[in-house]
Structure 1
Amino acid sequence: MNQDTVLRRQTVLIERGQIKIIGAANRVKSPAGAVRLNGRGKYLLPGLVDTHAHLPGKEGTLHPLNTYFRLQLAAGVVGLRSMRGDSSHLHWRDSLRRTAALAPRLYLGSPVFNRDQSYSARKGRAILARYQTSGYDFAKYLGGLTVPQYDSLLTDAHQLGFKVAGHAPASGVGGAVAARMASIEHIEAFIRAYQQDSVQLQQLARQMAADQIFTCPDLYWYEVNWLQYPLDYLQRLPGLAYVSSPVRQEWQQWWTTQNQQLPPAARPQFTAALRTYGQAFRIMHKAGVQFLISPGDGPFVVPGYGMAQELGLLVKLGLSPYEALRAATYNAAVWLGEQDQRGTLEPGKAADLVLLDANPLENIANIGRVRGVVLNGRWVSVAQLLPAQP
């Protein structure tokens, strides 16, 4: 995603998992024996990356792993940045790469840094170094450290060349920006920052843009968890029928219980908080802050399919469809240090792509009209990934 336009009547030649040639269809000839895919009337773009995933298991929803991965691919998601690390994830990632399984690429955050009364700078540096040498791609900060502890953690991480992503510290957005946290997750810290001093937030946003500090709002997660949707709407979500019956029943019971227990004043307060985040979002967008895309994980977040919900919400807040798609592709590649290999359709880039039946630049909802994905150069249709609609 490097231009807000459609290149029409193109042929894309893929060889050994990489894009070799992109050119006019009447000029590029397919080599003998090539597998040909007719994309007439369809739209090809880089595969999406969900940058705040919680993999199934003790830190995520208990989806069967194979179903979880196939749902992601069926929705055009070819990469997952996992935000709750576990040693088992290292084995999953290595096994998936070794066997060329049908699964998105995994980018693994470490086990979380959380409240720890015995924490010390020396201990934190040793833990960071261990996570880095173990093969985690970045460190995840969840919360609970004192401001000096957090600052020490970030200083050590910078010295090690190990990115830190996660929640804003006790010192808020300002503290995260001063410490040059690589990405700030969620929306609450930005809501507080706007409420406390919207002018200062403008200054912080400009600094975020200058220092390439990204943010991943997970806005759809808040819309669901703050009960902004009626149950009948959530029960009709695309892809929900593929979620296992026990998980769907658990989600329905969760919503019913939350709705019954919600104080009458809470829902409008949540709605007002989301409006405030919209103001903060527009300040960041105007300042040039780079966004990452994820619907989060939890009740009524259908793996993969939730990306369309998140993209739609961010377009409503002010991103153009192109900016939203770029955030889900190129921005993710930049944050992961893979912009030379992924994130755009160019010769030499990895062939991890998604083919759509309609133009998402005209209507972001068309990102949900996935025909299939190209995974490491291999075409996989939605029909191959999922059974007939239950």
Structure 2
Amino acid sequence: SRDVNASTDQFHYRELIAAGRMLGPRIFMTGPSQTTRAVKIERFEDALAGVQRYVDRGSISTKQYMQPQRRQMQWMLQAADQLGINTTAEGGGVMRQVAMILDGYTAIEHAPTDVVHIYDDVVQLYARSGTMYVPTLVVASPSTYQGELYWYQTTDVHANEKLAHFLTHDALDHKSRNSQRFALEDYYFLEGGAAAAPILHAGGNVAAGGHGQVHGLAVHWELWMLEMTGMTPHEVLRTGTINVATGMGMAADFGSLEVGKVADLVVLDANPLEDIRNSTAIRWVMKGGELYEGTTLDMVWPRTEPLRAFKYTDFGPPREGAPR
């Protein structure tokens, strides 16, 4: 799990997971974003202090979030470089992204968030720089989060049995039954990611992103939308695996199935190369050589061990018609 705007409690969760006290993914995080509220940057030392406080707790990168002046963005980069970590940033407008790429940012999230046609000059800049392009289509069209809404309207999220297993009834109802709707021809979220396929085909690094909308499912929506931008299923799968690892500087450790890498993998019952929506047909999940049932997260190897019951499953009866 790459979290580029994590609350500080994520540091504690990561320690609990590492100690075997809690089941969870490998967590790689920035800590909270470096916003103008989080850190007032008037000189390099301010930026260094802002980055240092989370590096001391285990951050592997930092996220610069809409610092208004270019020199402030550059000081953030210099601080990260001095501390030996990568730096990502909130996208903002295209010209802001151009400046950040030229200055050396290793990744840009929500890129771009404004609806604008991207020409070959920006495509080539992304591709040749190696800056990881993360369109985050699930929240494209920021005022309405159209990417997310599209899937509530075109798929039956409410009937998703796996979500019903891990979410409370109220949470599932709220997400899937009370969301805004558009006429299908009025959805324009793909325009925000129109550069994804051209950048990838030019040799750039494009990655699937998220925004915490529906944990577990939204990443699949992102993959499906990336295919809609013009990628092949194989290219899409790379955006959720090796491309992300490459952008993090950790491709030697994970992101593909190779000798010497960590034993993290997903076993599917259907082929996503034939239909990218088969990405949700998850039979098993392996982390560090331990195998878990994909539907319940019960461990099946090297020992059988059911997942502990969630305390919140007893919070009131389900609504009529809600899946159990």
Q: Which residue pairs with 1:343 in the alignment?
A: 255
Task: Indicate whether 1:181 and 2:96 are aligned.
Answer: no
Q: Which residue of 2 aligns with 1:371?
A: 283
Shift of 1:235: 3.9
Within 5 Å, which residues of 2 pair with 1:95-110?
95-99=16-20, 101-110=22-31
Give the residue type in structure 1 aligned to 2:206: F
Query: What is aligned with 1:322?
Result: 234
Give 1:91 deviation, angstroms. Answer: 1.8
| Aligned match of 1:217 | 135
Q: Distance in 1 between matches of 2:219 and 2:86?
A: 24
For the residues of structure 2 that align with 1:342 and 1:369, how far apart are their CA atoms?
A: 22
Give, in angstroms, the shift of residue 144 of structure 1: 4.2
Residues 230-261 of structure 1, C-alpha deviation per residue, up to 9 Å, x if partnerless?
A: 65745446333232122224335762xx55xx
d(CA) in 1 for partners of 2:276, 2:218: 13
Is 1:362 the counterpart of 2:280 in the alignment? no
Q: Aligned with 1:379: secondary structure?
A: strand
1:191/1:218 CA distance change after superposition, 3 Å: same
231, 245, 248: which one pairs with 2:169? 245
What CA deviation, in whole Å up to 9, does each residue of 1:150-184 have, x standing for no partner?
22222332333221113125652211211221111
State the Cα deviation string for residues 68-92 of structure 1 (Å, max 9, x = none). xxxxxxxxxxxx1112233322121
Match of 1:119 in 2: 41
Structure 1 residues 17-65: Cα deviation after superposition (integer angstroms, max 9, x where no partner): xxxxxxxxxxxxxxxxxxxxxxxxxxxxxxxxxxxxxxxxxxxxxxxxx
Q: More strand per residue: 1 or 2? A: 1
1:1-390 alignment, distance < 5 Å: 80-99=1-20, 101-116=22-37, 118-121=40-43, 122-168=45-91, 171-189=95-113, 191-192=115-116, 194=117, 198-199=118-119, 202-222=120-140, 225-226=145-146, 227-228=149-150, 231=153, 233=155, 235-236=157-158, 238=160, 239-242=162-165, 243-251=167-175, 255=179, 258=180, 271-272=187-188, 274-298=189-213, 301=214, 303-385=215-297, 390=324
1:262-312 deviation digits (Å, cap 9, x = unpaired): 9x9xx97x734x3433532333233222111134222xx2x2122222111
Deviations 1:175-219 (A, max 9, x none): 121122111111444634x2xxx43xx223222222210022221
Identity, % of aligned positions? 23
SS of 2:191's equivalent?
Answer: helix
Task: Look up the equivalent residue of 2:187 and give its one-letter code.
Answer: T
Name the count of aligned residue pairs: 292
- Which AA in structure 1 matches 2:283? R
1:308 alignment partner AA: H
Contact map agreement 2:190 2:229 (CA 8 A) in 1: no
1:105 is displaced (CA, Å) by 0.6
* Cα separation, 1, equivalents of 2:54 and 2:239: 27
Give the Å deviation of 1:126: 1.7
In the other structure, the counterpart of 1:31 is none
Would the alpha carbon gap of residues 235 and 95 (structure 1) be closer, same or farther in structure 2, given more than 3 Å must change? Answer: closer
Instruction: Label 1:189 to 1:159 Cα distance change in 2 as closer, same or farther (>3 A).
Output: farther
Pick closer, same or farther for the CA change 1:169–1:275 going to 2, 3 Å. Answer: closer
Distance, in Å, in 1 between the alignment partners of 2:121 and 2:154 is: 42
What is the CA–CA distance in structure 2 between the aligned matches of 1:253 and 1:356, rounded to whole Å? 29
Q: C-alpha distance in 2, partners of 1:254/1:142?
A: 30
- What secondary structure does 1:215 align onto? strand
Unpaired stretches in structure 2, ≥5 consecutive residues: 299-306, 308-322
Q: Tell me which amino acid in the other structure corresponds to 1:287.
A: A
Q: Which SS does the other structure have where 2:241 is aligned?
A: helix
How big is the alpha-carbon RMSD for the aligned residues of Structure 1 and Structure 2?
Answer: 2.9
Equivalent residues of 1:360, 1:367 under 8 A apart: yes
Letter in 2 for 1:294: G
Q: Which is bigger in relative contact order (C-alpha 8 A, separation at least 6)?
A: 1
